[in-house]
């Protein structure tokens, strides 16, 4: 696998893991407090996700990975991010 593809896969996996966790949290599933603490430490809130994501999108290689990511989206998370991206990341 070319280096670029591997980097892109890491980028996309990071977006998916962060966003999927937020989507799960918003789903209102009941969880133990201990689990929730770990989740918040690793992934933060929805606002923190968008702050992170919008900042990363200013990096050309990150943006290129995201924009060519149609085929990599296993969970639908990227399409959900794509739908909100324009309104969330206005400068």
7-22 core/surface letters (b: 16 or more CB in 10 A; e: else): ebeebbeebbebbbbb
Q: Kindly report the CA angle at 79 between 22 and 89, in degrees rounded to 5?
A: 70
Q: Three-state SS for 89? A: coil
Confidence (pLDDT) at 38: 45
| Tens digits of pLDDT across the chain (91 residues) | 556 788 888 888 888 888 877 777 666 554 444 444 444 444 468 888 999 999 999 999 999 988 887 666 666 778 888 888 889 997 6
Judge contact between 84 and 26, C-beta under 8 A.
no
Q: Three-state SS for 25? A: helix
Give the C-alpha separation, 63 to 69, whole Å. Answer: 10
- Of 20, 18, 89, residue with least CA distance to 59: 89
């Amino acid at each position: 696998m070319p280096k670029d593809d591997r980097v892109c896969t890491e980028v996309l996996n990071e977006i998916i893991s962060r966003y999927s966790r937020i989507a799960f949290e918003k789903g209102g599933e009941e969880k133990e407090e201990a689990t929730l603490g770990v989740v918040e430490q690793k992934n933060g809130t929805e606002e923190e996700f968008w702050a992170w994501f919008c900042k990363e999108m200013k990096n050309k290689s990150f943006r290129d990975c995201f924009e060519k990511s149609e085929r990599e989206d296993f969970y639908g998370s990227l399409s959900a991010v794509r739908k909100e991206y324009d309104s969330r990341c206005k400068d």
